[in-house]
Structure 1
Amino acid sequence: MIYAQILAGGKGTRMGNTAMPKQFLPLGSKPILIQTIEKFVLEKRFNAIIVVCPSDWLTHTKDLISKFIKDSRVVVITGGSERNDTLMNGITYIEKTFGLHDDDVVVTHDAVRPFITQRIIDDNINAVMTHTAVDTVVPAIDTIVRGENEQVNEIPIREYMYQGQTPQCFNIKKLKKAFNQLTTEQKEILSDSCKICLLAGEEVHIVRGEVSNIKITTPYDLKIARAIVEKRVVI
């Protein structure tokens, strides 16, 4: 079974003073979340498309999907307090609803990356069928500087550096096993889902993303996204 999980559990604090979390803000004629879900509905290999949202916005999310999306594969559940709690809530739903099988995989994606292409989705599905974990990346353009206490500690070789995007994809049983092996301290500082598998000693395969696959996090990002939709700029 192949599942998609749209991570829409964030509160959007970096977006500033908005009336709602960023995934619900308008982008063109539809909310950002809907623009993202529509890309996944086009992929017929998904057995279910699970949208994980804040508990306070559950009814709102269901109403939006009922209005814009006509696909019975799309379901809405509540997320957790942190990103990886939200991810695991989706895994728990899959296990309780469909059961878990050795070859089951999940394609997870940020709700606020609405410009994902079908090529990226297709490449991720193909890769996760033969790899435990898959990360979508683009080569770093700027030099990456590692620093601490306002001092530069390291400047890594740029050709080995990438910027992480989503989707991130996993064999579900192996992801669940890896997550359960983490200590409480590791879970508290975990900022990336693929690191769950890295800490368990699993290899993470790379799929190339696109510069256009931007994450709408700040007011500036939203301006760029709206300009793209209005065809004023091309990334």
Structure 2
Amino acid sequence: MNIAVIFAGGIGSRMSSATLPKQFLEIHGTPLIVHTIQHFQDHPMIDRIAVSILPEWRDRFAALVARYELTKVNWIVDGGATGQESRHRALRAVANDSPDDSVVLLHDGVRPLIDADVITANIETVRSKGPAITSMKFNETIIVSAGGEVDDVIPRDSLYVAQAPQSALLSTALDVYDRAVADGENDSIDTCSLLRRYGQTLYRVDGPRSNIKITTAEDYYVARAFFDVIERRQIGG
């Protein structure tokens, strides 16, 4: 079984919208969270979808699931105080009703430009090798600076930006989240960090440059531009 675990429990504190969490902002008339889930809904290898959502927005999200016929959404879980807690709660819900050897693909609810090839590559990599981390080649020069002076310049040849999905067997993913909580960690950055911390070998999957996470207002406008390009291609054939 292959299960998408979508976490959308954030409040969007870096966005300027005062009325809606960022996952409910719309592009082309459709909420970002729906754009994101639709990729997994339409993918033939995805069996079920779990979503962690802000508790106070649960009813609104459930209405979207019905409206857009997102039939693979099997779990709607109240998000926690941190991203880690939201992901952990969703994994626990999945584990109560799924085989340990299921592949789980953990993905941001506000990363709506994922594509089918990346989803397939994540599943196949987990099945054939081990945990898969979607990533993009880093094309800028990285400098190290503790103050005003540049302390070091890091060669970029082997640098990549971690994206999502970040995928593993359900038993592996749940184990690292359980261990993190036992060790007093409640606010890790992502699944990749926990898998690495607890000794898992990770395998890279190439992701497109368009697979951005919408965190700021600038990100929103960049994503909207990508959607405009996609729409023009569809209209123009």
TM-score normalized with structure 2 length:
0.89
Counterpart Cα distance in 1 of 2:148 and 2:53: 36
Counterpart Cα distance in 1 of 2:181 and 2:227: 43
Counterpart Cα distance in 1 of 2:124 and 2:184: 30
User: Which position in structure 1 is the counterpart of 2:235?
Assistant: none
- Unaligned 5+ segments in structure 1 are none
TM-aligned CA distance change 1:81 to 1:149, over 3 Å: farther
User: Which position in structure 1 is the counterpart of 2:123?
Assistant: 125
Structure 1 residue 148: deviation in Å?
A: 3.1
Task: Give RMSD over aligned pairs.
Answer: 2.2
Verify: 1:44 aligned to 2:35, yes or no: no
Structure 1 residue 75: deviation in Å?
A: 3.3
SS of 1:112's partner is coil
Verify: 1:58 aligned to 2:58, yes or no: yes
User: Which position in structure 2 is the counterpart of 1:29?
Assistant: 29
Structure 1 residue 112: deviation in Å?
A: 0.9
- Unaligned 5+ segments in structure 2 are 233-237
User: Which position in structure 1 is the counterpart of 2:68?
Assistant: 68
User: Which position in structure 1 is the counterpart of 2:14?
Assistant: 14
TM-aligned CA distance change 1:150 to 1:131, over 3 Å: farther
How much identity, in percent, do the aligned residues show?
27
Counterpart Cα distance in 2 of 1:184 and 1:154: 36
Counterpart Cα distance in 1 of 2:170 and 2:221: 36
Structure 1 residue 181: deviation in Å?
A: 2.8
Counterpart Cα distance in 1 of 2:200 and 2:72: 34
Counterpart Cα distance in 2 of 1:182 and 1:228: 36
Letter in 2 for 1:127: T
User: How many pairs does the alignment contain?
Assistant: 232
C-alpha offsets along residues 96-127 of structure 1, whole Å, 9 cap, x if unaligned? Answer: 223x42x2220011111111111111111111
Structure 1 residue 134: deviation in Å?
A: 1.1
SS of 2:157's partner is helix
Counterpart Cα distance in 2 of 1:154 and 1:65: 49
Counterpart Cα distance in 2 of 1:199 and 1:135: 14
